[in-house]
Structure 1
Amino acid sequence: MEGAKRHFAPVVDDRTRVLILGSLPGEASLKAAQYYAHPQNGFWRLVGSVTGTDLAALPYEARLEALMAAGVGLWDVVASADRKGSLDAAIRNPEQADLHGLIAGLPELRAVAFNGGTAARIGRRILGGATGLTLIDLPSSSPAHTLPLSRKAESWAILADHLS
């Protein structure tokens, strides 16, 4: 897939306490029409360790239901962009997602977590003046970020503080 890519609809409801924002779905995710579909992406294992649910073992729709039941939402900071391949470094002409609009409809939201450096850089720029929210930068769940999964999990564990 080359050219313009678009984000998926947000996965949130009125129970969302932590919103995890990625940059833009990669090729495997776009092809499968599923968040974090690349088998080497550690997202489902990382967030599952936070929620205490083996999300990776569940069918996709059940993963999303379990995520929302735990108070976790998903979306991306980029609504659309030109990109060849899946790497964030290849994102060109990004259009920002309406994060303020989404956040305004989440009454229980306590924290916004950015999955990786690109999501943090763009998301913090969009949310610059947001008050009352904790903004958290996480190491990317992507296999392109070569930190061992166990080390990533240590950083991701902070999300549990905002879910209880």
Structure 2
Amino acid sequence: MESRELQHVEHGFGPVWDADSRMLVLGSMPSPKSREAAFYYMHPQNRFWPVMAALFDEPVPEPTAEARRDFALRHRFALWDVIASCDIAGASDSSIRNAVPNDLAPIIRASRITHVFTTGGKAAQLYRRLCAPQLAAAGIDIPMTPLPSTSPANARMRLPQLVEAYRRILA
């Protein structure tokens, strides 16, 4: 059972990207399972990797950081999160308080990233409030498209609906 008590959480691991990355996919804050594995979307019921595999017409990468890092870089998408640290209860985005944003400018400047996508409503909200002003102050004007959460908490969206919503990243 997940704790409902707020805990101060540090992100704990860095972004996945390289100079050829073309898009940046941002979540809010890694879940406890992802923090434990030190990689993105590692909860076994999170549908992020099945969605991305369907988009790129490939098998779902093995549930290892190495396999998933290779998949992301091969398909030229970077992964990170909006938040560097916050107070949060378990994996509950709605509980997030005292969010401190990651500085996205260095990886955007050092890559070919031309678009940001956020996964879930809270990531989009926090990006608009915390990251967009920082990027604007750094002279970076980059479009952001919000996408639905792939979390098991977003049970109303089935895998085919998520795949269809995520097709925007291929444009």
- Normalising by structure 1, what TM-score? 0.89
Equivalent runs, 1:57-72 vs 2, <5 Å? 57=62, 59-72=64-77
**C-alpha separation between the residues in 1 aligned to 2:57 and 2:8?**
36
Could you tell me which runs of 5 or more consecutive residues in structure 2 were left unpaired when the two chains were aligned.
none
**C-alpha separation between the residues in 2 aligned to 1:77 and 1:23?**
5
AA partner of residue 120 (structure 2): G
Q: How far does the alpha carbon of each residue in 1:85-118 deviate from its partner, in whole angstroms, 9 at most, with x for none?
A: 1110111111111122332222x11211001111
**C-alpha separation between the residues in 2 aligned to 1:43 and 1:99?**
21
Q: Secondary structure at the match of 1:48?
A: helix
Match of residue 153 from structure 1? 163
- 1:28 alignment partner, one of 26, 33, 47: 33
Equivalent runs, 1:59-98 vs 2, <5 Å? 59-98=64-103
Match of residue 143 from structure 1? 152
**C-alpha separation between the residues in 2 aligned to 1:60 and 1:38?**
12
| C-alpha RMSD of matched pairs (Å) | 1.7
**C-alpha separation between the residues in 2 aligned to 1:76 and 1:96?**
8
AA partner of residue 64 (structure 1): R
Could you tell me which runs of 5 or more consecutive residues in structure 1 were left unpaired when the two chains were aligned.
none
Match of residue 114 from structure 2? 110
Match of residue 5 from structure 1? 9
- 8 A contact 1:81–1:93 mirrored in 2: yes
Moved over 4 A (4+): none
Match of residue 125 from structure 2? 121
**C-alpha separation between the residues in 2 aligned to 1:54 and 1:18?**
21
Deviation at 1:58, TM superposition (A): 5.7
Number of aligned pairs?
A: 159
Q: Secondary structure at the match of 1:25?
A: coil
